[in-house]
Amino acid sequence: MTTLLAANQLTRTFTMPAGPVHALRNVSLEIAPADYLAIRGPSGCGKSTLLHLLGCVDTPTSGELSFEGRAVEALPDAERSEIRLRRIGFVFQRFFLLPMLTARENIEVPLAEAGATRAERRTRTSELLDYVGLSHRADHRPSQLSGGEAQRVAVARALANRPRLLLADEPTGELDRATGEQIAALLDRVHADGTAVVVVTHDPEIGGRAARTLMMRDGRIEDGRA
Amino acid sequence: MSRLTRSFGFAARSLRRQPARASVGILGIAAVGALLLDMLLLSRGLVVSFHDLLDSIGFDVRVVAGDLGPIGGPRLADASGIARELAALPEIAEAVPIRMAEGETPAPGGVGFSLMGIDVQARRPWTLVSGSDRLESPGRSVAPGGSAAVPSVLVNRRLATALRVSPGDQIRVRATCSAEQSAMPPVPFLVAGVADFPFDTESQLSAVALRAAVRSACGTGTDDTADMVLIASREGFGADSAVSAIRRRRPDLHPATNDEIVARMQQQGFSYFRQISTVLSTITMLFGFMLIAVLLTVSVNQRLAEIAALRALGFSQARIALDILSQSALLVGAGGILALPLGVALSVWLDAILKKMPGIPMTLHFFVFEPRALVWHAGLLAVTASLAAAYPMWLVTRLSIASTLRNEVVS
């Protein structure tokens, strides 16, 4: 199996006034290009911390992380940002769509940042809106969208630059069950179309759709099964 | 699309999202920028205006007898001889002695005014309004209808109104050429014309006659003194060459170019305006800085999670910082543009107030527009925008993406 992302003995310790908090302890894992991984566990077990390290938005206290064979933990901000922009997509629990932009414009943000031309942006945005079933809502602002629609726009935005890895942090956390099912189905489809997906979730049903699930407790991987 | 264009587009949308806050920022900068522009106009306004005023009468060098200047200093003796000697120099086109005196029409209802005696030649340091400015000495022919024995005089508009005279009328003037001199009987003058004198204040009553006529009216017919000799340098030589030539020829005289006179004034009285302008400019910039810094900092603090999300999506620290700088530039830029008409209108109003001070020539302005003021205005506002953005930019660049996203979910 070719490795897309490899974490070796990742540790993340936060310095707090009351003393150090060990959020992650010696976690190692590998993610293949077509992987579909769910990370589950109780609140505060280190799921999101692990996701942030995998997504290059945080730096491990110790350990190594490589993305497409390249060590990333010590890269400067500009290069890590470039990897996040072009190779990794992020979906957040609270969507974080920009309220002053329409759905189409929100999807265009990472495209524009990556230097896509106006025509390229238009084409790709239309494709993605169609992909998430929101072509008819293209010119609506986030405040005019339902939670499920906003999250679908967020997924489309995450896919804008054709990332190799999609990271989703509790993507159904703010949604009702039926809407959450739609998002889970969308993630399934993203995976089926060739993008590796890592999803952090409390929801066993969402977790059950992944090919692999990692159970975490107290900053450690408790159980990993294919 | 360049990164800068994207940043400005993004910043513009962010500002439109909070129209009230953006409006406060823009209007605040417009007010601050208007004051800043006025301070810039004030800092050099008087100097520029004074220089223009000196240049406007067509003479670029002034010769006096002492360092004190024409008012209160010693007078030039044998002024006619000096004028002839200087006019003979190749660097000099014209040398015109002038003598300041006081005039008064006889009581009852006597009106006092400044009376200047001048050996007028080709250049006329005034603007004729009506009549003729051909000044005649006693005993020579005058304007049509006048008496050959009566010298002519030019009066300014206010004096013409006060005396209710117009060209062709005759007035009687009691002239005084020095404080020690006993009062002389009034002598007749023919009003040849009405003119505007550039150094007149708003309420000043003034008149000009030939120096010989003033001398005769003062009863000092043999006194050939002058307060000053106005020099026009010959074309191709310039004021500096004329001054050098005068110093070589007559080291006892004190010539000064208009530039030197302005520089001297700048070091003395005008420096107060520059100091006031510097202090007030600094304060207004400080207010602008604080306004924008507070607005941007509040905005950044409210958008931390959104900024963290953008960072997670691949926006670099530099890119996010550029967004903040662009927001600052847009606020300050829009406010700065609004400040221009506001500042100009304010300067006109303030100029009118300041010009009511006694002794200020009407043609002198405290606020004078110069292109360099615009450049300074833009430059200082750009510095303000950059400094104001510095703290919020620092905030966003040190923002921990992971902690911010985590805190947002926990909150």
pLDDT digits (tens, 9 = 90+) for A175-212: 888 888 989 999 999 999 999 999 999 888 888 899 99
Same domain, B130 and B276: no
Give A65-75 pLDDT, tens digit per residue.
Answer: 999 989 998 88
Give B52-62 pLDDT, tens digit per residue.
Answer: 888 888 899 99
Residue B43 and residue B368 in contact, taking contact as beta carbons nearer than 8 Å:
no
User: CB B309 to CB A92 under 8 A?
Assistant: yes
Q: Residue B361 burial by CB count (10 A; 0-12/13-18/19+): exposed, middle or buried?
A: middle
Query: Is the CB of A218 inside 8 Å of chain B's CB atoms?
Result: no
Same domain, B333 and B294: yes
DSSP-H helix ranges across B57-111:
79-87
Q: Which residues numbered 96-115 in A keep a CB inside 8 Å of some CB on B?
A: 96, 98-101, 109-110, 112-115
Chain A residues with CB-CB distance to B16 below 8 A: 100
Residue A153 and residue A103 in contact, taking contact as beta carbons nearer than 8 Å:
yes
Domain annotation covers residue B61: no
| pTM value surpassing 0.90 | no
Domain annotation covers residue B281: yes
Chain mean pLDDT for chain A: 91
Task: Please measure the distance between the N-terminal and C-terminal CA atoms of chain B and give it in whole angstroms.
Answer: 37
Angstrom distance (rounded) from CA A170 to CA A152: 14
Domain annotation covers residue B359: yes
The pLDDT, as a whole number, for residue B4 is 81
Name every residue whose Cβ is closer than 8 Å to that of residue A198 and which is 6 or more positions away in sequence.
A31, A35, A37, A38, A39, A51, A54, A165, A166, A167, A168
Q: Residue B100 burial by CB count (10 A; 0-12/13-18/19+): exposed, middle or buried?
A: middle
The DSSP code for B227 is S
Domain annotation covers residue B264: no
Instruction: Name the residue among A58, A83, A88 with its Cβ closest to that of B401.
Output: A58
Residue indicated by tokens 């921990």: B400
Same domain, B231 and B294: no
Residue B262 and residue B50 in contact, taking contact as beta carbons nearer than 8 Å:
yes
| Closest alpha carbon within chain A to B18 | A100
Q: Which two tokens stand for residue B390?
A: 């510095």
User: CB A118 to CB B317 under 8 A?
Assistant: no
Angstrom distance (rounded) from CA A27 to CA B272: 71
SS (H, E, C) A52-108: HHHCCCCCCCEEEEEECCEECCCCCHHHHHHHHHHCEEEECCCCCCCCCCCHHHHHH
The pLDDT, as a whole number, for residue B43 is 85
ipTM associated with this complex: 0.91
Domain annotation covers residue B263: no
Name every residue whose Cβ is closer than 8 Å to that of residue B54 and which is 6 or more positions away in sequence.
B60, B258, B261, B262
Determine the structural domain holding residue B279 and report its residue range: 3-54+270-410
Q: How many domains is chain B partitioned into structurally?
A: 2
Angstrom distance (rounded) from CA A34 to CA A51: 17
Angstrom distance (rounded) from CA B353 to CA A198: 73
Same domain, B170 and B21: no
Name the 3-class secondary structure at B197: coil
Domain annotation covers residue B262: no
Chain B residues with CB-CB distance to A166 below 8 A: none
| Binding-site residues on chain B for chain A (CB distance < 8 A) | 1, 6, 13-14, 16-17, 305-306, 309-319, 400-402, 405-406, 408-409
Give B86-141 pLDDT, tens digit per residue.
Answer: 999 999 999 999 999 999 998 777 899 999 999 988 888 899 999 988 887 665 54
Establish, for the pair of chains A and B, how many residue pairs have beta carbons separated by less than 8 Å: 86
The torsion of the CA quartet A145, A148, A149, A150, rounded to 10 degrees, works out to 70
Q: Which of B217, B252, B287 is the last residue of a domain?
A: B252
Chain A residues with CB-CB distance to B313 below 8 A: 84-85, 90, 109-110, 113, 157-158
Same domain, B151 and B36: no
The pLDDT, as a whole number, for residue A224 is 53
Domain annotation covers residue B386: yes
A29-61 burial code (b ≥16 CB/10 A, e <16): bebeebbbbbbbbeeebbbbbbbbbbbbbbbbb
Interface test with chain B among A54, A92, A169, A202, by most B beta carbons within 10 Å: A92
User: CB B409 to CB A85 under 8 A?
Assistant: no
Residue B40 and residue B278 in contact, taking contact as beta carbons nearer than 8 Å:
no
Task: Please choose, from the candidates B97, B92, B94, the residue with its C-alpha nearest in 3D space to the C-alpha of residue B82.
Answer: B97
Instruction: Name the residue among B314, B400, B401 with its Cβ closest to that of A110.
Output: B314
The pLDDT, as a whole number, for residue A225 is 47
Instruction: Name the residue among B6, B309, B408 with its Cβ closest to that of A112.
Output: B6
Query: Is the CB of A73 inside 8 Å of chain B's CB atoms?
Result: no
Same domain, B143 and B230: yes
Angstrom distance (rounded) from CA B367 to CA B40: 8
Residue B262 and residue B271 in contact, taking contact as beta carbons nearer than 8 Å:
no
Poorest-pLDDT segment among A134-143, B134-143, B149-158, B400-409: B134-143
Residue B86 and residue B231 in contact, taking contact as beta carbons nearer than 8 Å:
yes
pLDDT exceeds 60 at position B76: yes
Angstrom distance (rounded) from CA B405 to CA A168: 13
Same domain, B380 and B307: yes
Same domain, B120 and B201: yes
Angstrom distance (rounded) from CA B399 to CA B304: 8
Cα B206 from chain centre: 23
The pLDDT, as a whole number, for residue B358 is 83
